[in-house]
Amino acid sequence: MIDILAPVIALDGPSASGKGTVAARVAAALEFHYLDSGALYRLTALAAVRRGVLFDDVEGLTEVARALDASFVEGVILLDGEEATEAIRSEAIGEGASRVAALAPVRDALLARQRAFQRLPGLVADGRDMGSVVFPQAQLKVFLTATAEVRAERRHKQLIAKGEDVTIQKILEDIQQRDARDSARTVAPLVQLPDARLLDTSAMTIDQAVRTVLGWWETVQSSRP
């Protein structure tokens, strides 16, 4: 059951900005639940590919999202009962996720599933519309970003470590294309909300970013009546 009293920290930001890494660490430090909302769009894209549903088939994609058999168990992501943790991280599935995420009926189909993560003692949620649509009542909203060049470098390191052969230039182009699509779409676009705090991690370590969010959370906590 959803616990609407459970506090929410919403972290939104562009691709490869580090939101997932920071959100997971903040959640671990506070012993809060963690929602990786991008994983749901990636799972929808992967399930669509596996079922032969095309990315321009809105009805088909909506049905895939509605019927998504996905679970998150201690960092392991299952799709149809099989591990999909790594499979959803490919650049191709990221691209597909960005396309399915632009469809309003797909987003609607995934909304209740995301809100069900709001449980005591609290939730840290990362994505593009955590603070605007899914948890507009979040006690702390953060817009976490970094320059496209820094993000491309970070993603490049990540992919090289996984043995993928890809150039920084290609990653930078993909990131810029995805930023444009995620920000320009009409439904739930990626924007920095007026009530979100800006965290530019271009020149920060992961630890510094995590400490900043935890510091902001303490401030929010201490100013609550």
Ligand X SMILES: Nc1ccn([C@H]2C[C@H](O)[C@@H](COP(=O)(O)O)O2)c(=O)n1
Q: Specify the length of the chain in residues.
A: 225
- Half-sphere exposure for 54 (CA within 13 Å, toward CB): 2
x/- letters, 6..25, toward ligand ATP (CB under 6 A): -------x-xxxxxxx----
Residue 128 touches ligand X, criterion: CB under 6 A: yes
CA separation for the pair 137, 147 (Å, rounded): 28
Segment contacting ligand X by CB under 6 A, of 22-30, 33-41, 65-73, 193-201: 33-41
Q: Is the dihedral angle over the CA atoms 76, 38, 91, 22 positive or is it negative? A: negative
CB of 42 to ligand X, least distance (A): 5
Contact between 131 and ligand X by CB under 6 A: the answer reads: no
217 binds, among ligand X, ligand ATP, none (CB under 5 to 8 A by kind): none
Residue keyed to tokens 């009926």 = 105
21 is in an annotated binding site: yes
DSSP 29-94: HHT-EEEEHHHHHHHHHHHHHHHT--TT-HHHHHHHHHT--EEEETTEEEETTEE-TTGGGSHHHH
- Closest to ligand ATP by CB, 1 vs 12, is 12
Interface of this chain with ligand ATP, residues 147 to 186, rule: CB under 6 A: 154-155, 158
**What is the C-alpha to C-alpha distance for residues 82 and 185, in angstroms, rounded to an integer?**
32
Q: Are 8 and 125 in contact (CB under 8 A)?
A: yes
Task: Provide, rounded to whole angstroms, the least separation between the CB of residue 222 and ligand ATP.
Answer: 26
Of residues 41 through 60, those in contact with ligand X by CB under 6 A are 41-42
Positions in the binding site for ligand ATP (CB under 6 A): 13, 15-21, 38, 154-155, 158, 201, 204-206, 209
| Interface residue list for ligand X (CB under 6 A) | 15, 37-38, 41-42, 94, 97-98, 101, 127-129, 178, 182
Going by the annotation, the residues of the binding site are: 13-21
